[in-house]
Amino acid sequence: MAGLTVVIFAEKMFPRWERIAQGVGLALILSGVLVIVMPAALLLNGTGM
């Protein structure tokens, strides 16, 4: 969450960081899709459901 906060803050403060924010957004979407397709990709430290 702290990393996401830094990215949002940087995007608001520095207009040229918009491309980086778009890349981070894409990475978050892809990681979400990965967890939906393969739930084992989500690290749970061995505590399954």
- Indicate the pTM of the whole model: 0.61
30 pLDDT higher than 90: yes
46 pLDDT higher than 70: no
pLDDT value of position 26: 92
Q: CA separation (Å) from 10 to 1, 31, 35, 39?
A: 14, 22, 27, 31
Q: How confident is the model at residue 33 (pLDDT cuts 50, 70, 90)?
A: very high
Q: Where are the domains of the chain?
A: 2-41
